[in-house]
Amino acid sequence: MSGSTILDEAAFATAPLLAAVTPSLASAKGSLILIGSAGGRSGFFFDAAAPDGKNAQDYFRMLIKHTDCPRMDPEFVEAERRLLGENAFAMEYCSEFRSDSANFFGADALRAIFQPDDELDAPPEHLPQDTTPIDVTSALQPTDDDVRAAMDSRIRPSSYLYE
């Protein structure tokens, strides 16, 4: 493996790290070996290792799941499934690239939002077509009476702690 670079936990590799490592592969005619659990559906590792990654055709992939390793204790693995939850477990132990469960919207949904449409739809006919500007700044400025009313009606913490 002369000139090869091995990058473990490749899903966490940053762009600056890869930019520093990959040029040396050209002069050494080396290989980049990426190892790691699947992560989210974005980034260099996803593009190289996921079957639907944009650079997947450039890399040889070997998929190993927890079920392929006889040394894995089934009780330990099941405890990990309960601890991590299905999404994180599938990424760590089943080699599945998934959207990050912490995101409100998945990566596929966000990608669909930002893909340009071929043709923008016209506004619906039932909406007013008037484009006269409306000054809403005066409606956003509270008066002294508004502030006094808000202060008088505030919720006191003790009023809801014991209900």
3-state secondary structure at position 4: coil
The answer to the question of residue 119 being in a domain is no
pTM for the full predicted model: 0.56
The answer to the question of residue 81 being in a domain is yes
Q: Where residue 150 falls among pLDDT bands split at 50, 70, 90?
A: low
Specify the pLDDT at position 158. Answer: 41
The answer to the question of residue 84 being in a domain is yes
Q: Where residue 106 falls among pLDDT bands split at 50, 70, 90?
A: low
- Decide if 10 contacts 34 (C-beta within 8 A): yes
97-105: average pLDDT = 65
Specify the pLDDT at position 83. Answer: 93
Range of the domain at 69: 5-114
Question: Residue by residue, what is the 3-state secondary structure of 92-137?
Answer: HHCCCCCCCCCCCCCHHHHHHHHCCCCCCCCCCCCCCCCCCCCCCH
Specify the pLDDT at position 163. Answer: 36
Q: Please state, for a pLDDT cut of 70, what percent of the chain lies above it.
A: 60
The answer to the question of residue 42 being in a domain is yes
The answer to the question of residue 31 being in a domain is yes
Q: How many domains in the chain? A: 1
The answer to the question of residue 105 being in a domain is yes
